[in-house]
Amino acid sequence: MNDPIPSTGRGSLKIYLGYAAGVGKTYAMLIEARALVRQGVDVVIGYFEPHGRKDTIELTEGLDEIPRKEIQYRGATFYEMDAEAILRRRPSVCAVDEFAHTNVPGSARTKRWEDVQVLLDAGICVLTTMNVQHLESLNDHVWAVTGVRVRETIPDWVVKQADEVVMVDLPPQALLNRLRRGVVYTPEKAQQALQNFFKESSLVVLRELALRQTAYEVDVRQSVQDEASSVMPAAGTSGLAGVEPAAPASDRLLIYVSADPSTAMLIRRGRRVADYLQADCFAVAVQPDATLHRVPPAQRDTLERHLNLARMLHIETRVLQGENPAETLVDFARRNQVTQILLARAQQGPRVPVLGQSLVQKVVRLAHDMQVTIVAERRREE
């Protein structure tokens, strides 16, 4: 963290990114926390998960740690990060482990990343840790590679807001050696882990994802810095005289939202494509009744869940009224200068209605001046 005390009202966020437990994210975070303390910065530990790792636990010695909040749920006691206690303490920097954690019901907020947003808004800088598989847009890819559906996810826009993203790397074979020696987990938990994320083939792919994501985050921040410097007035001038405004995004994406289960995959894929293209993005549903009142309850619930996923990923959503989905969709795309329409490939098999396939064919025929991308759902890699 280059400047632990922000010059503006909002705190800065630094994420230590890894590809699996045990690569050293928490260790690196605590090393920085201790270095800041030596520089005279007021640092506290907001949440720390030791996992029985002695070398990591030793790094917390001498650091001020905020006691966890005790919450009762279904007859059991749980301990969560106490964001309100941290706000009262008002440190300059707070170290928060496990950014993607889901808080127990009864907590003030659902997710730990939401707690962190509160700290940042209060001007507190945060150091935190997460693995790349918790990034929402990669959820389907990670499932295809590992066979594990990650339930605790972080919206891409949250990570994009971070001031720094630093990858903590360790070769997969070295990580597996640490796991077998009992450094990462207890022997029982280690054996279970070897059957899931800790297969070497899975670790290799997850590491590559983390490397690519880190490179992407660096590029995004560099682009922002370059754009900011390009519009700074020269010394002795005022305003932006002589400086051309930044060009608008050249690409605009439209994601077709339906009640089909593959829509969630399509939304995640569309968000990722839009990020890489730095494009505007719409998620659009077409129904005979734009209020969804005439939609059967089960189908309506699924549609609303998909639209909420798009909103969580900061995609602009629309529900359009129309009897012909293909014509309504393409008309909206043309009026909004959309350059690419993303549709899910219809599943093959006798139970798939012909209408599901004809929608794709109609859109392809009507959208002759746009790129139409048919996205197939990922299959599990055995």
pLDDT of residue 232: 47
Rounded distance, CA 63 to CA 175, Å?
28
Name the 3-class secondary structure at 254.
strand
d(CA 188, CA 186): 6
Residue pLDDT, tens place only, 181-219:
888 888 778 887 887 778 888 899 999 999 989 888 877
Q: What are phi and psi of 301, to 5 degrees?
A: -60, -40
**Model pLDDT, residue 243:** 38
Rounded CA-CA distance 147/144 in Å is 6
Task: Scan for tokens 């043309």, then name that residue.
Answer: 334
pLDDT tens per residue across span 227-264: 555 544 444 333 333 334 444 457 999 999 999 999 99
The domains of the chain, with CATH numbers, are 13-222 (3.40.50.300), 252-375 (3.40.50.620)
Residues of the chain with pLDDT under 70: 1-8, 222-249, 346-357, 378-382
Nearest-Å Rg of the Cα atoms of the chain is 24
> What pLDDT does 377 receive?
72
Cα separation of 274 and 192, whole Å? 37
Give me the pLDDT at residue 340, please: 95
- pTM given for the model: 0.78
Confidence (pLDDT) at 53: 86
Closest CA to 190 of 180, 199, 200: 180
pLDDT at 248: 46
| Per-residue burial over 344-378, b = 16 or more CB atoms within 10 Å of its CB, e = otherwise | bebeeeeeeeeeeeebbebbbebbeebebbebebe
Distance CA 298, CA 56 (A): 48
Q: What is the pLDDT of residues 331-352, one digit of tens each?
A: 999 999 999 999 998 655 444 4
Residues 253 and 281 sit within 8 Å (Cβ to Cβ): yes
